Every structure is written in structure tokens, then in C-alpha cells.
Amino acid sequence: MKYKLGLKPVHTHPRIRLCDYYTSDLPSVDSLKFPLGHAGLVKPRMYLNDRIGDCAIAGSIEEIRLANALRGVTVNFTDDTAVQNYSEITGYNPADPGSDQGTDVHELYEFRQNTGIVDADGNRHKIVAYAGLTPGDWDEMLIALSLFEGCGNPSSRLRGSPVRIRASVASHPRPSPGRRRTLHSGVGRLRPPHRAAAHMGR
């Protein structure tokens, strides 16, 4: 596969940027308490990301599972539904390995907003909105994680070593200066008392 982590090159789009909406009452990184999130609510699964470049799909599925687990709902996903979503979004054909070209993240979030990721029971899970985080700004991602129940981080690298990080797992400590981010996209619900776009789960 051309892009081994499953994320196509990111091009700048005129999308909503979360940093444009920051106000002085938002928490600072120094005020955050680690670990963030509720990663233990769901047991992470690969959803074939060890065999095909569907990392953005697998991460989106984990976001949906976690957002629903936070309200006591279990959502049924399988490897087959991961492939179904990957195929719908990218045109991937399991019979044609050459079609495994990864995901354009902007197309992914447009699909999640307009169509929704389908689960194994045929339910569609939409997001109301999404906002981009500044590439390479780890502090901004931590602030987003402190406010939202989900924050997509399709790919991450330590110097010299590719690392996959699940989109919904917000329990990672602040990284060493050697870490850099290639892209962050925030989706989910702001925790009270803040208001913003919400996941639409069933």
C-alpha cells in the first residue's frame, strides 16, 4: 500500500479551525489533569488496521464505540463493517489490493457528517460537525481532548518510528519534545458547561 499508515497526504481546506473559537475561559494545558478521557470503557480492536490501511476508519469506529459507551450503550462493529465503511468512503475493493490507498481525512469527515459510519446492525452514526486542529500543535490537541469526548488523530510519529494512536483514546500523557503530529481533527461533544457539536449515536 502506498501510504502504510492509511492516511493520504493532507491538503489545506477552508474548514472550521477549532483555534478560531478559543476563548479565555478555556483550560490551559498546565491546568489539565492526566490521564485524560475514559479509554478503559472499551477494549480497543484493530478492525483490520494490521492488514489494510483503514486506520482512519478504525479510529472513527473506536470514537463511536467510546462516545456510546459513555452513555451506557454498546455499539456492534465487526471487521466486515470496517471493510464496508472503508469501501464506501474510499472505493476500496477487498479483491483488488491496489485499491487499498488509504483515506482522505476531509472526505472521511464529510462522509461521517452527511452519511454516517454504519455499524453491524445497520445503524448509521453521524457527527453534527467537525473542526480541524493545528497540525503539530500538541497542546491544542490536549485542550481539545479536555473539552471533547473524542478527538481524531489519524496518524502520529515518533522520530524514526511510526506509531498508531486510536482516535478515541485520550489517556496518553503529554509527549516528549521529540514527538510531532501530522494532523488532528476534533469531533465529539464538549463537556458541560461548554456547548458545541455533538455525536449523534443510537
160 pLDDT above the threshold of 70: no
Is residue 32 included in any domain, yes or no? yes
Mean pLDDT of 97-118: 93
Q: What is the average pLDDT across 146-151?
A: 72
The answer as to whether 12 is a domain residue is no
Summary mean pLDDT of the chain = 72
Residues 172, 174, 180: CA angle, nearest 5 degrees: 95
Please report which confidence band the pLDDT of residue 13 belongs to, taking 50, 70 and 90 as the band edges: low
The answer to whether the beta carbons of residues 129 and 197 sit under 8 Å apart is: yes
Average pLDDT (13-36) is 76
Amino acid at position 43, single letter:
K
**Residue 31 domain-assigned (yes or no):** yes
Q: How many CA atoms lie within 13 A of 197 on its CB side?
A: 18
Instruction: Let me know if residue 2 belongs to a domain.
Output: no
Q: Is the dihedral of CA 10, 174, 163, 113 positive or negative?
A: negative
Residue 9 lies in a domain: no
Specify if 55 maps to a domain. Answer: yes
For residue 136, what is the DSSP state?
A: T
Sign of CA dihedral 85, 91, 94, 100: negative
Q: Is the pLDDT of residue 39 over 70?
A: no
Residue 192 has pLDDT above 80, yes or no: no
- DSSP letter at 21 equals G
Residue at 11 is within a domain: no
Contacts of 18 (CB under 8 A, 6+ apart): 131, 132, 133, 140, 144, 186
> CB 191: neighbour CB atoms within 10 A?
11
The pLDDT, as a whole number, for residue 10 is 59
Q: What is the pLDDT of residue 190?
A: 34
Q: What own/partner pairs with CB < 8 Å and gap ≥ 24 does 18-24 have?
A: 18/131, 18/132, 18/133, 18/140, 18/144, 18/186, 19/133, 19/134, 19/137, 19/140, 21/131, 22/143
Total domains in the fold of the chain: 1
Q: Are 63 and 148 in contact (CB under 8 A)?
A: no
Rounded average pLDDT over 72-91: 97
Neighbouring C-beta atoms of residue 37, cutoff 10 Å: 20
pLDDT at 49: 92
Question: Is 22 within a domain?
Answer: yes
Domain that holds residue 55: 18-200
Q: For the domain that residue 60 is a member of, what is the CATH number?
A: 3.90.70
Of the two residues 48 and 28, the one the predictor is more confident about is 48
pLDDT-based confidence at 20, cuts 50/70/90?
confident
